[in-house]
Amino acid sequence: MGDGLDYSLGKAHTVETHDELVDRIMELFKGVARSRQGIAPVWLEVDLSMAQVRTLMVLSCEGQSTIGQLAETLRVSLPTASHLVDRLVHADLAERAEDPSDRRRMLVRLTPGGEDLAGRLRQGNQKLYRLWLSALSDDDLAALYQGLQALVRVMASATK
C-alpha cells in the first residue's frame, strides 16, 4: 500500500504492503488451526455435524431460544434450524419446552448433558490457548493483546 508503515516480520523479511501482511496473517491463522488438530480430544469424541456443534454452542451462550431466533443467529432457514434441534434432542443434548408466556411457542435449551459437552468443548480450547499464550514473552503477549483488541473493534463495527 506504500503507507510508510513498517510491516517488518523480523530481520529476515520485510512485508512491503498492507495486503501482503494481511495474507501472511491469514497463513498464520491456518498454522494455528493446523497446530490444534489432534490436540483437543473432546472434539474427536463428538459425533455431531459442524452445524449441530454450532447450534449447541449458540444454545450454550444464549441459555434458551426459539427456533426462529436460532435460525436467525445461525443464518439458516426455519426448517433447517428445526432439524438441527431435532438432532440435538435425539442425542439428549437439547430439549424443547413450552414458552410459559406464549404456549404456542416452543423454547429450546440444552440438557445438562448438552451443557457439559459445550463446556468441555470450550474448556479444551481455553486450556490449549492458555498453554500457548503462557509461553509467549511479555512483549509478544502485549503485542498480540493490542492486535486482538483492534481486530475485535473492527469486527464489532462490521456487524452494526
More confident residue, 102 or 80: 80
Residue carrying the nine cell digits 494455528 = 32
* Alpha helix positions (H), 5-137: 18-36, 41-45, 50-62, 67-74, 78-90, 112-134
Domains in the chain with CATH codes: 7-41+117-158 (no CATH), 47-111 (1.10.10.10)
User: What SS3 string covers 46-80?
Assistant: CCCCHHHHHHHHHHHHHCEEEHHHHHHHHCCCHHH
Structure confidence by residue, pLDDT tens digits, 97-152: 998 888 888 899 999 999 999 988 887 767 778 888 999 999 999 999 999 899 98
Confidence (pTM): 0.61
pLDDT at 14: 64
Measured N-to-C along each axis, helices 67-74 and 78-90 cross at an angle, to the nearest 10 degrees, of 110
Is-contact 138 126, C-beta < 8 A? Answer: no
